[in-house]
Structure 1
């Protein structure tokens, strides 16, 4: 205040040189403020999209497909001119599959890195852990968490970018019903996604007149499935279905084969969809069913180009995780363009209004942010490769059932 008074009431006239100096200082301060202020639409700096991903840990195989889908999606956005006249840049860290680490990393992304946009990590457990943080900072975030709880209205800035968990294995139950199978043994990993998936399986089975004759959960770090599989086999079910990830799906198959436990149908949620499933199990993979949310032969918008570009960029075929992540980036771009700014509430509202055709199918939400558009399909390992077998309208090969004895 004293400086302000001295400038207003100087004791002697201020020279032209001093006035010019003060003007130069003011201009310099103004330029500095403009260059360090939060990114506006006129800034040439890239729009930064932050997330954590499981690059190491038990779930790293499917999570790396998520990462590559995000990367290819960012490439596509930039090839089309970016967002709001700016390129996009990914900022990501390895959460190692740890919920506590994911929370720390999203805190860093929001408060230290000050990213402009967020997308979600791999796994429902991690999304549930970061949901309160994302909501507190009011950051709109599309998340590839299939369970419904994070999108039940408690966390209004989250939107679901993948098929709802209860719908994952409905096509498997439909297929089993057409074959007249009546009994089911259900093996469930004791984590968030498999537990909710199991509820969906049981509800659909009951609706189709299929009876659960054996049910058991097991810890995520289980390595020996022999006793579990023998108990399931003793119930003589028509089907053995696993609410699983990759490692436990492989473990259950190895134990069933070693113990000569047979069923007419073996199906697993996450596991058979991964290329590693076939390379790890060899001939034992043949005949096994899995669920997928996408397939390279589907006639979805831009799918053939996506597959071609993914192979060129990463030297391997995509799986459904990669396709869903790429579709997430497609939805993010559409929401930001609809919002016309980086205002997070406007972007969240734009997500809820989208009805978008992506490589994974139709992206469409209800007013809670739950996914309504995407569906699931059944694949089967046949002669060492994956074939889409259900529903028949999109199948690349007829389903081969019953499962042959080991």
Structure 2
């Protein structure tokens, strides 16, 4: 296990892929009260199932249309793939899983309506989260009012955990890396460089979003402390009409580094196109989200333009974890493409299901109060993203932090940070635009 990087704002440990695998195996070998694997949980549960064979109903709202649709559709695949695997193995405690997924059209208002419907009309047993912190915050409040555990994988912004509902009910559980720390591996990489090799200037454009902004703001604070001059920092409306003017302003400053607060592929693609039009290429270009979207990203920006684009995450298709590799193979078999086309949304959604499954088995059913207490008990759970252990507010304190980069003309999505971690390759600077 690697030591924590020097500037992580929480107890987030950047682990190598091998170290993570060792941690998962160690967790599997520990006592049943502290951990359980998803696969063994299903087998054990099926063997000891009770007379109750009614389906376990799980409701979720996802952005199947609208601004977050690329992510929402990937989440749908992840949830469905998990349910398919569970049901093929005999269900959970002998009960099949039935998913009900409603479309929120990327709207905070609609996501509230959807969870009210799922809980009060459909009377689902459990709820899974939507995509984005923007939607998770109001959705989790609906769940809290009804006493539901809210297990999710894409709501890691501080605002999600600091709501009055979660501080009172502690019902939110995010299986993924906390948002604020995501870009710290890049900051620590810059800190490791000799002063003469560090960037001199940086820009921090941010779409107005609780997911996009916190990691960029923390990166700005830390890079400024290293002597990197801020030449541009602005939060703009998360609307397509805002993207090109903001990108033009950044290009006019010509900073060495651009750290973009983005939530989706269209935001990143618009900035890349504007930079190309302005004949400006930053040396380092980090986006909070977008480049991790695999085929959706490459299709939008072109394979030649992808080289050197960086994005943080806690998972990637080549992650050396047996559960993860099995999921990736199943995804490719069902949906086609290659392993590189499997984006992190799929793994996040699949991990939500795995955590819920282990909690159901451990507590003997779908009593939400018991599940909430169990998930706050300090137990370490296993997922395709690695270990999960929730702190008092529901953040995953055992999550890993990596930076990834597109290489070889957009054909390889590779781990580059932390430097020296198992699986990390040499980081490159942003390649010139393919059509400039």
Q: TM-score range by the shorter chain?
A: 0.7 to 0.9
**RMSD, aligned α-carbons:** 2.0
Give the match's secondary structure for 1:302. Answer: helix
Residue 205 (structure 1) aligned with residue 214 (structure 2) = no
Work out whether residues 312 and 403 of structure 2, in 8 Å CA contact, stay in contact via their aligned partners in 1. yes
Instruction: Please list, as runs of the form range in 1=range in 2, the aligned pairs for 1:156-175 lying within 5 A after superposition.
Output: 156-175=170-189
The structure with the largest alpha-carbon Rg is 1
Q: Which moved more, 1:192-201 or 1:86-95?
A: 192-201
Give the match's secondary structure for 1:192. Answer: coil
Work out whether residues 98 and 126 of structure 1, in 8 Å CA contact, stay in contact via their aligned partners in 2. yes
Match of 1:254 in 2: 273
Aligned positions, number = 367
Match of 2:257 among 239, 242, 251: 239
Runs of 5+ unmatched residues, structure 2: 1-48
Could you state the TM-score of these two structures normalised by the residue count of structure 1? 0.85
In structure 2, relative to structure 1, the CA distance for the partners of 1:137 and 1:224 (3 Å cut) is: closer
In structure 2, relative to structure 1, the CA distance for the partners of 1:371 and 1:182 (3 Å cut) is: farther
In structure 2, relative to structure 1, the CA distance for the partners of 1:105 and 1:368 (3 Å cut) is: same
Residue 183 (structure 1) aligned with residue 201 (structure 2) = yes
In structure 2, relative to structure 1, the CA distance for the partners of 1:56 and 1:399 (3 Å cut) is: same
Instruction: Please list, as runs of the form range in 1=range in 2, the aligned pairs for 1:6-405 lying within 5 A after superposition.
Output: 42-144=51-153, 145-152=155-162, 153-179=167-193, 180-206=198-224, 208-223=226-241, 225-244=243-262, 245-275=264-294, 276-282=296-302, 283-316=304-337, 317-353=341-377, 354-382=379-407, 383-385=409-411, 386-392=413-419, 393-395=421-423, 397-401=425-429, 403-404=431-432
CA offset digits 1:18-39 (Å, max 9, x no partner): xxxxxxxxxxxxxxxxxxxxxx
User: Using the alignment, how far apart are the partners of 1:315 and 1:203 within structure 2?
Assistant: 42
User: Using the alignment, how far apart are the partners of 1:285 and 1:273 within structure 2?
Assistant: 11
Work out whether residues 152 and 175 of structure 2, in 8 Å CA contact, stay in contact via their aligned partners in 1. yes
User: Using the alignment, how far apart are the partners of 2:123 and 2:382 within structure 1?
Assistant: 31
CA offset digits 1:92-148 (Å, max 9, x no partner): 111111111111111111111110111101111111112221111000111220112
Q: How much does 1:378 deviate?
A: 1.6
User: Using the alignment, how far apart are the partners of 1:278 and 1:207 within structure 2?
Assistant: 34
Match of 1:13 in 2: none
Q: Which moved more, 1:108-117 or 1:214-223?
A: 214-223
Q: How much does 1:205 deviate?
A: 2.4
Work out whether residues 142 and 159 of structure 1, in 8 Å CA contact, stay in contact via their aligned partners in 2. yes
User: Using the alignment, how far apart are the partners of 1:320 and 1:367 within structure 2?
Assistant: 25
Q: How much does 1:70 deviate?
A: 0.8
Give the match's secondary structure for 1:50. Answer: strand
User: Using the alignment, how far apart are the partners of 2:309 and 2:177 within structure 1?
Assistant: 22
Q: How much does 1:300 deviate?
A: 2.4
User: Using the alignment, how far apart are the partners of 1:69 and 1:208 within structure 2?
Assistant: 40
CA offset digits 1:48-85 (Å, max 9, x no partner): 01111111112111111111111111122223332232
CA offset digits 1:301-321 (Å, max 9, x no partner): 412111101111222432111
Q: How much does 1:368 deviate?
A: 1.7
Work out whether residues 171 and 391 of structure 1, in 8 Å CA contact, stay in contact via their aligned partners in 2. yes
User: Using the alignment, how far apart are the partners of 1:68 and 1:211 within structure 2?
Assistant: 42
Could you state the TM-score of these two structures normalised by the residue count of structure 2? 0.79
Work out whether residues 382 and 388 of structure 2, in 8 Å CA contact, stay in contact via their aligned partners in 1. yes
Work out whether residues 216 and 288 of structure 2, in 8 Å CA contact, stay in contact via their aligned partners in 1. no
Q: Which moved more, 1:247-256 or 1:54-63?
A: 54-63
Q: Which moved more, 1:67-76 or 1:282-291?
A: 282-291
In structure 2, relative to structure 1, the CA distance for the partners of 1:155 and 1:213 (3 Å cut) is: farther
Runs of 5+ unmatched residues, structure 1: 1-39
Give the match's secondary structure for 2:134. Answer: helix
In structure 2, relative to structure 1, the CA distance for the partners of 1:294 and 1:235 (3 Å cut) is: same
**Higher relative contact order by CA 8 Å / sep ≥ 6: 1 or 2?**
2
CA offset digits 1:224-277 (Å, max 9, x no partner): 644323332343422011010211111000000101123211111111111222
CA offset digits 1:353-372 (Å, max 9, x no partner): 33022110111111221221
User: Using the alignment, how far apart are the partners of 2:384 and 2:200 within structure 1?
Assistant: 35
